[in-house]
Structure 1
Amino acid sequence: MQDFIVIGGGMAGISAAARLADLGSVTLLEMEDALGYHSSGRSAALFEENYGHGPTIDLNRASAAYLRENGYLSPRGLMLVGAKDDGAGFARDVDELGMATLELEEALAMVPILNPGTVGYTAISGAAEDIDTDRMLQDFAKALRAVGGRTVTKAPVTAITRIQDGWEVTAGGQTYQARQLVNAAGAWADQVAALAGVAAIGLQPKRRSMARLPAPGGHDVSGWPMLLGVGETWYAKPDAGKLLVSPADTGLVDPHDAYADDMVLAEGLARYEEMVTEPVTRVESSFAGLRSFVRDGTLVLGPDPDQPDFIWCAGQGGYGIMTAPAASQLIADLVAGRAPVLDADTVAALSPARLR
C-alpha cells in the first residue's frame, strides 16, 4: 500500500506529489497521456505578486523566492490599457495591482501599436514576469521520480472505495491503494470527491479562450509587456514571437477538454483591436483552458474536515501556476503536522473547512 495517491497531473498535482514524496511513497494518476495537458499547459504563465486577492496574494508572495531561485522567472512587465472613458476602472485597477501610471508617449515607446485615438490611460508594473511553466512542471516530475514516486498517465479514475486503512482507486483498469488521497483533479475535483463519497466544494469551471496571432505589423514583440484591458476585459501577451490575445472570458462550463468559443473570441479580439492601430488579419490558432473557482474565488488546500485522509488541492482559478510552490508546500506541511510558513489566518482562509 502506498502512502499517497495524487489524482491529477497538472501543476497542482505534480507539485503536491513532489513535496509529499519526501514524506512517503507516492503514485500520481493522470487521465490524459501527458502531464500538464489541460489548464497547466494553456496558461498565460505570468507572475504578478499582486494579482488576485487576500490569501491568493499571500501564496504568490510565498512562492516568489522558489520561482526566482530556480530560475523560472524572466522579465516581462504588465501594461494596463484603458479607453478614454475608463477613468474610474483604470484608477481601481492601478490601485489593486500597485502600478505606476504612464504618459501615453511613454507607453507608445514600449508598445508602438497602441492607438492614441482610443487609449486614454496607461500604467505599468515592471514586477510582472514570465514563468517557465513547462520547465517547472518537468522539474517537479523529476523530483518525484528521484525519490521513487511514479506517475501513471492514461489512467482516468472510475471508482474510489473506502478501505480499512485508506483508499482504493480504480484508474485505467488498474487498482491502487493508499493511506491518503490527494484530489488535484482541476475542473474534475468535485467529480472525484463524489466518487469518494466526500462532500463537494462547489467548483465552477470557467472557460478562458485564446487566439494566437502573427506579430502585429511585423513588429518584434519579444520585449513588449503583457497588455491588460481595464477590468480584465481582454489581454495580449507576447509568446515565441507571436501574440496571444484573450477575451478574458469567464463563461461557466462543465468539465471537458476545453476549446475556444469562436463568438466570445471574436468579441475579445474586437476589444483588443479598438486599443491598437494594427488590425487582426489572421488567427493562426485558437485554444482554451478551464479555470475552476469556488464561491469565494480562493484556493482550497488541505484535509477535508469530515475525512482528513482526503486532501484537497483544488480551486486554483487563474492562479495555479504562480501559487504552486507555496500551495504544494502548505499541503506537505499540513500532512506532516508541521507549522506552515503561511500565517494561521491565511491557512484557515484556504482550508476546505470554510466551505462547509
Structure 2
Amino acid sequence: MKGFKFAGIHAGIKKNDQKDLGLIYCEKPSVAAALFTRNKVIAAPVILGKEKIKIGVCRAVLANSGNANCFTGNQGIEDARACSKMVADCLDIEEDHVLVSSTGVIGANLPMDKFKTGVPDVVQQLSEDNVDQFADAILTTDTCRKIVNRSATIDNKKFSIMGIAKGSGMIRPDMATMLAYICTDIHISADDLNKCLSAANEKSFNRITVDGDTSTNDTLMAMASGTSEAQINDAGSKKIFQDMLDDVCFELAKMVVKDGEGATKLAQIIIKGAQTKKDAFKAAEAIAHSNLVKTAIYGEDPNWGRITAAVGRSGAHVVPEKIDLYFDDQALVLKGDWQGTEAEKKTSQIMKNSEITITLDLNLGQETDSFLFCDFSENYVKINADYRS
C-alpha cells in the first residue's frame, strides 16, 4: 500500500526458525487510533500503547511473537520503551511515534539481545512488498497469515484499506483479537478514525469467540497515511469509509475464528426477535461460548437441547414455548416443539459442512445480534497442553 512499508524476520525470539519480529513503517506521520484489551492483567506494550496513542499520531509499529512481555513488572515497561527507542533511532523518527506489540508466552522477560540485533535487521528489510513477511512474523499458534485488502472511491478518488491480523487462541469479545493492524491511505481526522475503528470493532472482533479467554495483549490499531486524494469530509464519505472498514474487520475476525486452535468448523449464531439489544447480545454470547454447543458441532450432533439450555441461562428474557431454531434453512424447533426425527437427520447432514449458520428466534421483539465461533476438538487441548514446550 502506498505510504506504508513492511518487514518480518526471524530474530531468534522463538525457539524455531519461524519469523518473530515484524515492522510497519509509515513514510510520514500518520493519523492513528487504537483499542486494547479489557483484561485487567495488561502486558507492558499495551500499557505503553495506551499512553502513546493519546497523541493520535504514529509512524511505526514493532511487533514480536513468541514472548508477550506480560507480567514482567517495571522491567517489561523499560524493555518495551527500549524497543521503541531502537526503532526510532534506526528510522530517525520521534520515539513517541513508535508503538510496540507483543504476543506469546506470559511471564518471561524479552530477550533484549535478540532485539538489539533484530531491530536494525528488520528496518533494513522494509519494503512495500513485504506485507506477507510482517503477517508471518506476528503468528503464534495460527496456521495461516490473515490479510484483507479492499479499495473504493470517494468523489471519484480511490482509497484503500488493508488489514493484517493474528489470532487463533485466547479469543473472546472483550476488545478484539490478539493483534490486528489496519493501514489506509485516506485523509481522516484522528477523532473520526477512532470512532470508525470503535464501530467496526463492535461489529467484528467484539462478536467472535474461540475459547472464551481474553488475551493480555489484545491490540487493534489503525493508521491513516493520507497519501491518497480521497478524504472524509461529510457524512456520505464517512459512511463509505465505515462500510469498507467494517468489511475488512469482519473478514479478519472471520479468519481468526476459522483458524481457531483445533477448529474444524466455523459457526455463526444469529439471534432474532429479542426484546432488547442487551438480550440479543446475551443470548448470542452464551451459545457461542458454550463448550457443550461447540463439542456438539465438532461431533456433528444436532443436540438442540444444548443450544436452548445455553440461551435459557444467558440472562436474556426467554419464553421456551416461543423459540424457533434453525440450522441453515432447516427448522429443528418451532414454537418450542422439536420437529422430529426427519428434521434431525437433515440437520445432521447440514452439520457436516465446514460452515454452519444457527438461527434462534425468540419471537419476543425486534432486536437481533450474532456471533462467530468455532467447534471444540481434541486438538485444542493438545495445542494448549504443550504451548510452552
Structure 2 length-normalised TM: 0.25
Structure 1 length-normalised TM: 0.26
Instruction: Tell me which of the two structures has the higher relative contact order, counting C-alpha pairs closer than 8 angstroms and 6 or more residues apart.
Output: 1
| Structure holding more helix per residue | 2
